[in-house]
Amino acid sequence: MTYEGIAAAFQDTLLLNEELLSFWSWFNKDPEGMRLESSKKMATIPKSAKIIYTEMPRTIVPVGKFPVVTINNVCVFPGIPYYLKAIFNSLQGTYFVSSGVTFHVRRLYLNVFESAFSEHLTKTAKQYEKTVVFGSYPKVNQSEYKTLITIESQLAKDVDDALASFKSLLKTEWIVNDFDVLSEAWSSTKDRIDYGNLEVTFIENLNRSLQLVEKVFEDYRPEEIYLAFNGGKDCTALLHLAHTIKNKRDGDLQQESPPLTAVYFKPKNPIPEVEAFIQEAATRYKVNLITEEGPIKEALGRLSKTEAGKKWKVVLMGTRKADPIGKNLQHFQKTDDGWGNLIRVSPILDWSYKEVWTYLRNFSVSYCSLYDEGYTSLDDSVGCERNPTLKYTDETGNVKYKPAYALEDETTERSGRRR
């Protein structure tokens, strides 16, 4: 119907394009020597239309090119967001060029439906009608919030002022912390990167990490990937990164992918608070949590013989260069002999201690409560204690500890380790 409508708009007729038919027959895997009606329909385009081929990642289209039909000033994109976005990015700067106009967007999540705040919304929209556009979107099957409010403008100040004005009219309990809404993790992350006043170096590292995780998800199937998760700050940051990319891809494909798999190698003397947090995180992120008692090498050997383990090809690790084993690692590296035939991927390898905490705190990522009690590096109940460099005496003479994110000398991160 799309091509029929376009042909009618330009007073043109439809014609079966043999070049396009060959592509769609290959793409749709038509039986050899046959042309399915679905392929013919997709190849029947306006007679005056032209076909341009975009460069595409081979992870999306194995041949590396995708045909796009154009007629006059109309460019026809496929309906699947995943392909649409890739084609748009490929055409940008060649077929069409950005006008340079920037739109600033803010999102607000509310746990009530519009009927509760409609008067406030109307009042604020009227106040800023010349430069700001409001959108209100109910979410009937969403447990985390009931309404998403979008506020858009070409003027950053106006959009911020409009948001502040609208929020001032709402009850505090109606507002959901937008970075706690895991179902909107990708859009929240983009907003924070664009408008969060974060350091350039950190944004570069964060973007690189997101790209590394996305490459893993593009190159491997969900059942071929697992994330090593011990409840520490680094792998917690990694878990949120992985969830963010999963959220992005689910949105692009308009369908929910299988849950992430996380593996917890349980030490001999586990810390109760850490174990409680691991279970809490597994529930929160809806991951498939596999717990196997250590030592890690032997545990991995047992898991590699299970049905799930036989499919694993990649392990996502929260290792950083500051770690004892991280100094000589690469982002992608084959595991050593005896550790399974896996590719070890370390997306946050280049992050500093400070950047881990910048991410956890600025993106409102929940972490183990022990980090707020002076612990900076967690091992097991025998192997770690509070970091002595965070110790201080308050005005009443009581000895206390600052939270982990207050650590100033990053070289003392592991000072609380007994081994």
* DSSP-derived secondary structure for 26-77: HHTTPPTT---HHHHHHHEEETT-EEEEEE--TTTSTTSEEEEEEETTEEEP
Average pLDDT (299-307) is 91
Residue 396, both tokens:
């009443």
The CATH number fitting domain 186-345, selected from 2.50.20.10, 3.40.640.10, 3.30.470.20, 3.40.50.620: 3.40.50.620
List the domain boundaries for the chain: 2-91, 104-176, 186-345, 368-412
pLDDT band at residue 119 using 50, 70 and 90 as cut-offs: very high
Q: In what order do the strands lie in the sheet with 65-71?
A: 50-55, 65-71, 74-76
182 or 281: which leads in pLDDT: 281
Report which DSSP code applies to 197. -
Q: For residue 199, how many C-alpha atoms fall within 13 Å in the half-sphere facing its CB?
A: 10
Average pLDDT (175-201) is 79
The CATH number fitting domain 2-91, selected from 3.30.530.20, 3.40.50.2300, 3.40.980.10, 3.40.1160.10: 3.40.980.10
Instruction: Say if pTM beats, i.e. exceeds, 0.85.
Output: no
Task: Give, in words, the CATH class of 104-176.
Answer: alpha beta
Only one residue has tokens 């106006």, namely 158
Q: 2-91 with 186-345: one CATH topology?
A: no
Rounded to an integer, what distance in angstroms lies between the CA atom of residue 139 and that of residue 145? 7
CB 108 within 8 A of CB 167: yes
In this predicted model, what pLDDT tens digit does every residue of 43-95 receive, in sequence order? 899 999 998 888 776 666 677 788 888 888 888 887 776 677 778 777 766 66
What pLDDT, on the 0 to 100 scale, is given for residue 124? 97
Secondary structure of 87-153 in HEC code, one letter for each residue: HHHHHECCCECCCCCCCEEEEEEECCCHHHCHHHHHHHHHHCCCCCEEEEEECCCCCCCCEEEEEEE
In this predicted model, what pLDDT tens digit does every residue of 218-269 receive, in sequence order? 999 999 999 999 999 999 999 999 999 999 998 877 778 899 999 999 988 8
Report which DSSP code applies to 417. B
